[in-house]
Structure 1
């Protein structure tokens, strides 16, 4: 029915078309980034659309009561790329004694100014909110960390930071 050359041509055509499709998709993604265009200027409201449920209040004190300092130390490894605990500043300020310390209070460190406008001191509640979404809590902060999503991770890190004072 078909000889080997015909089957090879058909397979080559299919694989070539697939390759062109993948290269076109990659090229389009490189040329156009929708997320870089910001918020839409006009949003269309859809009737019957459900409003987002408000996030439930989290009792930070209760989470801290059950926090594990050892787990907090291992989660802190994500932070240790920029923050140190020995009193020396790195990319970010040192974090030993941060719980209860005034916001933006490390002498000689160049803060962005966005933090001071949000709070007076690093209470566990303020740290919890900041660790959830640093750029959302303090818009304009120069900290590039995306945040910790798990409530237990945030509580464990705060407990670990409290233990390093």
Structure 2
């Protein structure tokens, strides 16, 4: 094998890569796929008698039937920012949070949205806050996306009630 054959092989590989690069650029110009793509919303009419599509949840019954041990396991997601030993971390401590006014710990700097909420952390409010914090309190500094499962939220609330001291 002489140098001319090696040059041909290298040229063929480079030419193939160039063709693939050009195909990729042309496809990118025709088809745009990115993170800013909008999703499509399909409107669905609510069936008669279903309460407008909103599911009603009996939070008190869910919390009463909740498992504190499972709540402790789910709370590990919360423990990245919250403690239950009366010391603040990234978020305020959660000892005695159930029944406490929202944004009321004097030694923690809350967002204006939390300070001006004007309600208490009832199990019902905690349940809805844990589902989607930014929807429950627009402007909150809490960046957690929420707990989508009703059972997980009820278990965490039961766990927090068990740590009321």
Residue correspondence of structure 1 range 8-157 to structure 2 within 5 A: 13=16, 17=20, 21=24, 33-34=36-37, 49-51=43-45, 54-157=53-156
| Structure 1 residues 20 and 154, CA gap change in structure 2 (3 angstroms) | farther
Alignment length (residue pairs): 144
The structure number with the bigger radius of gyration is: 2
| Structure 1 residues 87 and 15, CA gap change in structure 2 (3 angstroms) | farther
Structure 2 SS opposite 1:128: helix
Distance apart, 1:20 and its partner CA: 6.3
Structure 2-normalised TM-score?
0.73
What are the Cα deviations for residues 32-54 of structure 1, in whole angstroms up to 9, with x where unaligned? 7346xxxxxxxxxx9xx533652
Distance apart, 1:19 and its partner CA: 9.7
Distance apart, 1:13 and its partner CA: 3.6
Q: Is the 8 A contact 1:83 1:93 kept in 2?
A: yes
Give ranges in structure 2 of 5+ residues lacking alignment. Answer: 1-7, 47-51
Q: Is the 8 A contact 2:103 2:117 kept in 1?
A: no
What are the Cα deviations for residues 104-147 of structure 1, in whole angstroms up to 9, with x where unaligned? 11112111021244441000000000000000110000000000
Structure 1-normalised TM-score?
0.73
Tell me how far apart the structure 2 counterparts of residues 15 and 55 of structure 1 sit (CA, whole Å): 55
Instruction: Give the corresponding residue for 1:163.
Output: 162
